[in-house]
Amino acid sequence: MNAMSAKSLGPGRPKDPEKRASILQAAKQLFPENGFDGTSMDMIAALAGVSKLTVYSHFTDKESLFAEAVREKCMERMPLELFNVAVSGPLREQLSAIAHAFFTLATSPESISLHRLLTSGIGSSVKLAQIFWEAGPQTLQREFSTFLRREVEAGQLEIPDIGRAASQFFCLLKGELHARQLCGCCNAPFGKAEIDDHIAATVDLFLRAYSASRRPLSP
């Protein structure tokens, strides 16, 4: 059954959230393993333990399922609550928490696998890369920009271009460690001390660039 025939069946019983969760879990596993073209809706349905009709009843097509799987993976590692820390809290600790969550997400095996598939030119497209960007990196950058804007309004930071600063922070966090992973130079997990030092240095650099003038930062 294709997407059109599934959609033409019209509304039925209320959608089962547990089945939707199973479908997303299967998609989050299969897309990084097999790529977009190498993953079929039949494969996702089989792994989720549902029919293909059920998959199409929750997601109109494979592209929308891919986008939601990317978005869900990002929210698992970086829930929106992470960006809702009170502005009265220690800024360095808030940035460090966001930094650790982002680094864990960016260097996870699933993220590295998807990045390689999307940049290999094999079975990928500009459209698919755009779907990935909007569902994942762009969403996180938008949430972090909102967080920075609140800190600016509270007088903690002085940032002339918040969107650029958000992008800079995430790029700095990837750094050499992420590049080594992409090149296949580091197959073993990074040590905790190495990660902590990298993140602390990144947060320090960001604060030196954007901390509010003559305003002491919380330790």
| Residue 4: pLDDT over 70 | no
Half-sphere exposure of 142 (CA within 13 A, CB side): 9
The pLDDT > 90 percentage for the chain reads 56
- pLDDT, tens digit (0-9, with 9 covering 90-100), for 116-152: 777 766 555 778 888 889 989 999 999 999 999 999 9
What is the per-residue pLDDT for 127? Answer: 81
pLDDT in tens, 7-45: 434 445 557 899 999 999 999 999 988 888 889 999 999
Q: Is 3-65's fold the same as 78-210's?
A: no
Domain boundaries, the chain: 3-65, 78-210
Q: Which option is the CATH number for 78-210: 2.40.50.100, 1.20.1250.20, 1.10.357.10, 2.40.50.180?
A: 1.10.357.10
Q: What is the pLDDT of residue 112?
A: 85
What integer pLDDT is reported at residue 122 of this predicted model? 56
Distances (CA, A) of 183 to 91, 115, 178: 34, 11, 9
Tens-place pLDDT, residues 174-184: 999 888 888 87
Predicted pLDDT of residue 189: 74
Please report the pLDDT score of residue 1 as a whole number.
41
Domain 3-65, CATH 1.10.275.10 — does that match? no
Average confidence (pLDDT) over 82-106:
87
pLDDT at 182: 82
